[in-house]
C-alpha cells in the first residue's frame, strides 16, 4: 500500500470496472434483442483479502457488485448477468509484471500449496466455465459469482 500510485489505482479500476461498464452499455441493444447474457471475469480475491493487492481485490469486488446489480436491473429484459471468479490460473501475468523467473516459480509454488487441489488452474478450465455461464440453455441463473479455485476459497 505504501508504494501505491494514483495512476496504478486508476488504471486498475479502468480495466476492471470502467471497461466492463462501457462494454456492457454498448452491447445493451444487442443483448436486449437477443436476450443474451453478460459474463464478467472477477477473481477469488474479489471476495477474500489479498494483502499486497488490496486495490486489485477492491476492483474485483466492485465488478462483483456490478454483476449483482446489473442482474436485477436487466432481468426484466431477459438478460442474465453472472461472473466467474477464478483462483490462481496459469498465465503470463506474473512474467508481464516483470518478475524474475525464480520469483514467479516461488509464487506459483506458494499458491499451489494453499489450494486444496494442490495446483493452479488451467486457462481451458476457466474458458469452459465462461461458456457454461454464457450458454443460452443456462436460463435460470443470474446474479451469481461462480468461484472456481480448486478449493482455495475454503481455506
Q: So which residues are the catalytic ones?
A: 56
CB 143 within 8 A of CB 72: yes
* 141, 133 contact by CB (below 8 A): yes
Q: Give the three-class secondary structure for 81.
A: strand
Kindly list the distances between the CA atom of residue 125 and the CA atoms of 2, 71, 131, in Å, as whole numbers in the listed order: 35, 24, 10
Interatomic CA distance for residues 130 and 83, integer angstroms: 8
Amino acid at each position: 500500500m505504501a508504494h501505491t500510485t494514483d495512476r496504478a489505482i486508476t488504471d486498475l479500476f479502468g480495466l476492471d470496472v470502467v471497461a466492463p461498464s462501457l462494454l456492457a452499455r454498448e452491447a445493451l441493444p444487442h443483448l436486449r434483442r437477443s436476450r443474451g447474457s453478460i459474463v464478467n471475469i472477477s477473481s477469488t480475491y474479489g471476495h477474500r483479502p489479498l494483502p499486497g493487492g488490496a486495490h486489485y481485490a477492491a476492483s474485483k469486488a466492485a465488478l462483483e457488485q456490478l454483476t449483482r446489480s446489473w442482474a436485477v436491473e436487466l432481468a426484466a429484459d431477459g438478460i442474465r448477468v453472472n461472473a466467474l471468479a477464478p483462483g490462481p490460473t496459469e498465465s503470463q501475468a506474473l512474467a508481464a509484471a516483470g518478475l524474475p523467473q525464480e520469483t514467479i516459480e516461488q509464487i506459483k509454488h506458494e499458491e499451489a500449496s494453499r489450494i486444496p487441489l494442490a495446483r493452479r488452474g488451467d486457462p481451458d478450465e476457466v474458458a469452459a466455465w465462461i461458456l457454461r455461464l454464457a450458454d443460452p440453455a443456462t436460463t435460470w441463473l443470474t446474479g451469481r459469482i461462480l468461484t472456481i479455485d480448486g478449493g482455495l476459497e475454503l481455506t
